[in-house]
A = this chain, B = another copy of it.
Amino acid sequence: MIRFNNDYSRGAHPAILQALADTNAVSYNGYGIDPWCEKAANDIKKYLDCPDAAVHFLIGGTQANFTAIAACLRAYQSVISAQTGHIHAHETGAVEHGGHKILTLPAENGKITAAQVAAEGEAYRSSPIQEHITQPKMVYISFPTEYGTVYTLKELTDLRAACDKYGMYLYIDGARLGYGLAAAGGDVTIRDIARLADIFYIGGTKCGALFGEAMVITNPALKPDFRSFIKQNGAMLAKGWLLGLQFSVLFRDGLYFDITRRAVEQAMELKAAFEKKGVPFFMDSPTNQQFVILTRGQVKALEEKYVFEPDHDVDGEHTCVRFCTSWATLPEEIAALTADIAAL
């Protein structure tokens, strides 16, 4: 079986395994105070053109999200998210477990707009009963979104402006950041992300690492004592250099960008194959996740050789499913699948 069900089904880029092997006998200081974390942070800051950013390495996405939110918000403050946002839909209420309400907005193509955010900000600002409602203080977006779509630079800039107007933080969940930056037709660079967000993370788990996410804080108000939040939230790895080492490899000579760009190119091959076959798309995604609407028969045919993920039933005859490429997808896997799509 060939897996296209997600982008975290294989180990790590071989260069990472090699680095682990090379350093296995070396001893390091623990908890992220080590030369590899320092080097990786510096390398990342260069890519961001953001020398004053704080960079911390956490283990996984859910914990990265609730740790960031804990560090940014006071108890009566809430976070705005698309209804389809990962923090709302797939994290077992971790944000609420941490004490914060999520204000959900209907999403279009997985995205929310500056106008929606401004409306929330205005509603709070003009409320005569502010103390009876939560204060929206953070905007959570994912880039790319849970449906593979991406915000344009204009959309992000507008969100930033709305956040500025209403005193909110912009937090970007970059679990798949590499794929988003490589979006076909996209116009957002990692420097834009760093310039527009107050805090965001660069996903490693889904982009070539065994595990790990690099949290970047550019807003000076959010930097103090962030390590205390990491530790309290169980996100501080004892052997922290394993995270720095991995990101150090990923940001060596732009490897992170190369491997995610290739995965997007592969996804575009799949997309073209589906388009050619007349298979409709649930959303028009320019990144490594492709949501297509298949007939039961097509599902059955493809299930014989491929693993892919059901998203939702469309009607009695059709199902929306996700095909995902990754940094690890092999050319021959794409060749096989495109051929089989053509043969549907």
Interface residues of A (CB under 8 A from B): 3, 5-6, 8-12, 14, 17, 20-21, 23-31, 59-63, 66-67, 70, 74-76, 78, 89-102, 129-135, 205-206, 210-211, 225, 227-239, 242, 328
A232 cross-chain contacts in B, Cβ below 8 A: 75-76, 91-94, 97
B91, A96: Cβ atoms under 8 Å? Answer: no
B10–A29 touching, CB < 8 Å:
no
Q: Are B30 and A24 closer than 8 Å at their CB atoms?
A: no
Assess the B134–A92 pair: CB atoms within 8 A. yes
Chain B residue, CB-CB nearest to A18: B21
Chain B residue at minimal CB-CB distance from A70: B75
Rank and list the top 6 A-B pairs by shortest CB-CB distance, nearest first. A63-B234, A93-B101, A11-B24, A76-B228, A131-B227, A92-B232
CB-based contact A237/B225 at 8 Å: no
With A92-B133, A93-B100, A234-B66 already in contact, the answer to whether A229 and B9 are too (CB < 8 A) is no
Residue from B27, B78, B211 in contact with A93 in the complex, judged by beta carbons closer than 8 Å: B78
**13 A-B residue pairings within 8 Å (CB atoms):** A8-B30, A17-B17, A17-B20, A20-B20, A25-B328, A62-B236, A76-B97, A90-B129, A92-B131, A92-B132, A92-B232, A94-B234, A96-B99
Return the chain B residue nearest A209 by Cβ: B239
CA distance A146 to B9 in the complex (A): 37
Contacting residues, chain B, for A67 (C-beta < 8 A): 234
Q: Which of chain B's residues have a CB closer than 8 A to the CB of A5? A: 29
Instruction: Decide: A11 near B59, CB < 8 A? Known: A24-B17, A92-B231.
Output: no
Does B234 contact A211, Cβ atoms closer than 8 Å?
Answer: no
Q: Which residues of B contact A210 (CB under 8 A)?
A: 20, 239, 242
Other than A14-B24, A31-B131, give 9 A-B pairs with Cβ distance below 8 A. Answer: A11-B242, A60-B236, A60-B238, A70-B75, A75-B229, A75-B232, A78-B93, A134-B228, A206-B238
Given contacts A12-B24, A30-B8, A59-B237, contact A228 B131 (CB under 8 A): yes
Q: Which of A11, A14, A66, A135 gathers the greatest number of chain B CB atoms within 10 Å?
A: A11
- Say yes or no: B89 contacts A133, CB within 8 Å: yes
* A30 interface neighbour in B6, B97, B328, Cβ under 8 Å: B6
For the complex formed, measure the closest distance between the CB of A61 and the CB atoms of chain B, giving whole angstroms: 7
Q: Name the B residues within 8 Å of A233 (CB-CB).
A: 94, 97, 234
A17: min CB distance to chain B, Å? 6
Contact B90 A133 (CB under 8 A): yes
Given contacts A62-B234, A93-B100, A93-B101, is CB(A21)–CB(B17) below 8 Å? yes
A29 to B12 Cα, complex, angstroms: 15
